[in-house]
Amino acid sequence: MPRPQIRLRDPSRFKDPANLSWEHYVALQARERERYLADRAAIPADALAYRTVSPQYLERAVDQFANNYYSELSATHYIATAAAHAPFDELKKCCLFQLADEQRHLEMDREVFERAGIPERDWLPAWEAPGTTCRFFRHVLELEDTLEILVKANFVAEGAAGPGTFAVLADGAEARGDVFSAVNHRARVRDETRHISFARALVKVLIEDDAANLDVIQRWQDESLQLFVEVARGGQRREWWEGFLGSYYKIALPLGLKPTSLPV
């Protein structure tokens, strides 16, 4: 494994902001699952079978479904790598809880594809097409360093795709009759908020621990956002993109990071 580019000299600085024990976490997961199943059970059968959306909606939504599903699939892999290589136990614990969350998100998004009747052979080509999140996640999947994975995927990507953009996605889907996707987005965001907050706590202590870490984190931010630019191209996702950058800068700039100059 390559040598880590930054480290936390004093790991006792990092505390899980949710302060979750294994017992608390399992109870929370169970409550979340129950709530999700109740929300899903309340969706009318017609909507759940994708008979309330137009054929044009489904055609256009396939790349959005792929962005959702493969981001979650990627997350289960990279967060497992982050857990395996975690430099200290408190951080490993946060990664392991997240692994269970991402697994649940992945299952929700798989069910969207299935209920919408999209044949599995079309899923991956939709994600590999230009204009998706594929390039970013493929990059993260190549990483081995826990801190780099958490800064790029949790702090930058989830921080950006935080509450704001999931609300845009949920409202947009619901307005077009896709109630199931809306329920999924609203469920996922409750966990993502926790993933973002431990990454934010990590970035904060990394910078406090050694000011030189800020330059490396800035570079990781720049690399990450550049890999997302193609998702915004074409103008269709303008509102999404503004929300994406807006959510991220709201957490990053107060920590001393600077906006990335981007060609959009």
Which stretch, 83-91, 105-113, 159-167, 229-237, contacts Fe ion (CB under 5 A)?
A: 105-113
Token pair for residue 37? 């199943």
> DSSP secondary structure string, 55-86?
HHHHHHHHHHHHHHHHHHHHHHHHHHHHHHT-
Which residue, 94 or 179, is less far from Fe ion as judged by CB? Answer: 94
The distance of closest approach from Cβ of residue 10 to Fe ion in the complex, given in angstroms and rounded to an integer, is 27
Count of beta carbons in the 10 Å neighbourhood of residue 90: 15
Coil vs helix vs strand at 71 = helix
Residue least distant from Fe ion (Cβ): 105
Token pair for residue 15? 């505390």
C-alpha to C-alpha distance for 242 and 148, rounded to whole angstroms: 25
Report the Cα–Cα distance between both ends of the chain, in Å, rounded: 35
The distance of closest approach from Cβ of residue 56 to Fe ion in the complex, given in angstroms and rounded to an integer, is 28
C-alpha to C-alpha distance for 130 and 122, rounded to whole angstroms: 15
C-alpha to C-alpha distance for 116 and 203, rounded to whole angstroms: 39
Binding of Fe ion by 102 (CB under 5 A): yes
The distance of closest approach from Cβ of residue 44 to Fe ion in the complex, given in angstroms and rounded to an integer, is 26
Size of the site for Fe ion (CB under 5 A): 5
Q: Is 180 exposed, middle or buried (0-12, 13-18, 19+ CB in 10 A)?
A: buried
Q: Which residue in 85, 93, 105, 204 binds Fe ion (CB under 5 A)? A: 105
Which stretch, 2-10, 55-63, 187-195, 236-244, contacts Fe ion (CB under 5 A)?
A: 187-195
Binding of Fe ion by 152 (CB under 5 A): no
Which residue, 193 or 218, is less far from Fe ion as judged by CB? Answer: 193
The distance of closest approach from Cβ of residue 161 to Fe ion in the complex, given in angstroms and rounded to an integer, is 9
Q: Within positions 191 to 250, which residues make up the interface with Fe ion, using CB under 5 A?
A: 192, 195
C-alpha to C-alpha distance for 149 and 141, rounded to whole angstroms: 8
C-alpha to C-alpha distance for 248 and 255, rounded to whole angstroms: 11
Which residue, 72 or 145, is less far from Fe ion as judged by CB? Answer: 72
Q: Within positions 54 to 93, which residues make up the interface with Fe ion, using CB under 5 A?
A: 72
The distance of closest approach from Cβ of residue 101 to Fe ion in the complex, given in angstroms and rounded to an integer, is 6
Binding of Fe ion by 185 (CB under 5 A): no
Residues of this chain that interact with Fe ion (CB under 5 A) are: 72, 102, 105, 192, 195
